[in-house]
Amino acid sequence: MERLLTAAEMRETEKAAMESGETSGRHLMERAGEGAVAAILSEWPDLADGPHRAAVLCGPGNNGGDGFVVARLLADRGWTVEVYLYGDPDRVAGDARANLEAWTARHPLQPMEQAAGATPPNLLIDAMFGIGVSRPIPDLCMQAWHALAASDAPSGPPGRTVALDCPSGFDVDRGGYFLPEPEGNDPAAWRLLPDLCVTFHAAKQGLFLEEAARRAPRVVAIGLAEDAAATAAATRVLSGDAAEQRAWYRRVTGGEEHLHKYDRGHALVLGGGPGKGGAARMAARAALRAGAGLVTVAVPRDALPENAAQLNAIMLSAMDTPDDLDRLLEDGRLSVVCLGPGLGVSARTRELVGSALDSGRRVVLDADALTSFREAPDTLFEMLNGDCVLTPHEGEFARLFPDLAERGRSLSKVDAARQAAARCGAVVLLKGAATVIADPEGTVGVHAALYDRRVPQLATAGAGDVLAGFITGLCAAPGRDTRAVTELAAWLHAESARTFGPGLIAEDLPDELPKVLAGLGA
């Protein structure tokens, strides 16, 4: 699980290392250039076969300094390298200045204005503006990039494009590109979208909130202490190789050595009336597949026949009123309650939520259970605790936390979820291609279904109900950390969709989960 850093956290990490004497800015820049070249040649081995042509677009700051190092190292390998600088060379200062002078001592430097007329290279490097810039890139830089990236080189390997640390104009805190005012501008032109982003020391938060490049970011070490990122942030991206995933699963679940079904917990899923029970049934099947020892679906009495016709391993119980739910919850073996899927937006739903929360059980609230409190979210928040999970999509989130939603791009999705969790006192899972899970203490996990881990097939009716069921099933066993199992459920949900592939419907997800669990050694 990689730590994610904001721009401020990365700057603080570098500053602390340099002030302690652990390293210097010049050394960090050299390591960044070396790491970038190694990552590029590893990504595209054909570029290592003999010299080729490269163009490096440099800005006047430290990102440009990284670019000068990359240019020098490629030239030392026999490459033909053209370096284009934005702005006045005399204004380049500090460590970037030292590397500019090292370049110009042996090679020519060209102004950015000349880039648009140059021959497209085999490798185009964006070293214009790094993590310290929070505005759209200048028109000249945008035009230079697109002119050189527009077509393949006339000879040698096809043109590849790489950004150093982050693409110029990309928001490394909130994700997405900074765009100019829309009058007469094509927003797509300011989204550089290189083939690859090589980022330094630690992954940057925004790179896992929206896609910054066509491939997943490559992180390279630059000589900072390995634990520096861990002490700088409490945000992690939920990913890793197969061994890390197996270890993560066992750490969160404690393995699957339960000897009795009640040791695995008994989940209760509340469903809607006749004709509205599909969502609850999918959530219940998902809970059973995810590991609950028993699952009961409680529905109004007149909905029992249709549910009985479609459920086998799942038990049924009648529940017409909140008093009926209270009686069900007298069974001390019930360990978790899931409310929302297909339950209906109503005063009755609010009462059922209150009964579930008063019982002291873990509670997963989704869909209608959230929307039912849109007029009085504070009423819900007063009843919540750290063993509750809210699973809103962005629309539901806006109903419960309108002030956070109204801040739009001024607030990152990570900060929005973190502030929401602190306010309501529960775990918040904010859905999306980048799903963010936050607990009231401020710890955040990001599950990024981006880059090579995209799962567009999850854009299907009922997928959210299944996710609520996965969370419920993993929460059923006692002693597990609520945030940790919620993070795991988000990963299992996406991985089940990825394993199934195209043609997925929500009902396929619970049946695909055993394959994913088998791969984890469950």
| Known binding residues | 62-66, 126, 130-136, 165, 168, 279, 342, 393, 431-435, 464-465
What are the structure tokens assigned to 349, written together?
């739903």
> Strands (DSSP E) along 287-440, which ranges?
294-299, 315-318, 334-339, 362-365, 388-390, 427-430, 434-438
- Count the neighbouring beta carbons within 10 Å of the beta carbon of residue 425: 15
Alpha carbon 452 to its chain centroid, in Å, reads 13
Burial class (CB within 10 angstroms; exposed 0-12, middle 13-18, buried 19+) of 143:
middle
Residue ranges for the known binding site for (6S)-NADPHX are: 62-66, 130-136, 165, 279, 342, 393, 465
In Å, what is the CA distance from 404 to each residue of 280, 408, 409? Answer: 29, 8, 10
- Count the neighbouring beta carbons within 10 Å of the beta carbon of residue 456: 11
Judge contact between 121 and 159, C-beta under 8 A: yes
In Å, what is the CA distance from 242 to each residue of 1, 27, 269, 517? Answer: 12, 34, 32, 12
Residues comprising the chain, all counted = 522
Residue ranges for the known binding site for K(+) are: 63, 126, 168
Q: Mark 200-237 as b/e (b = at least 16 C-beta within 10 Å).
A: bbbbbbbbbbbbbbeebbbbbebbbeeebbeebbbbbb
Sequence-separated (6 or more) residues with CB below 8 Å from residue 309:
none
Q: Which long-range contacts (CB under 8 A, 24 or more apart) does 23-27 make?
A: 23/223, 23/224, 24/95, 25/62, 25/94, 25/95, 26/95, 26/98, 26/99, 27/223
Local structure of 513: helix, strand or coil: helix
Q: 138: which DSSP letter? A: P
Residue ranges for the known binding site for AMP are: 431-435, 464
Backbone angles phi, psi at 139, to 5 degrees: -55, -40
Judge contact between 420 and 437, C-beta under 8 A: no
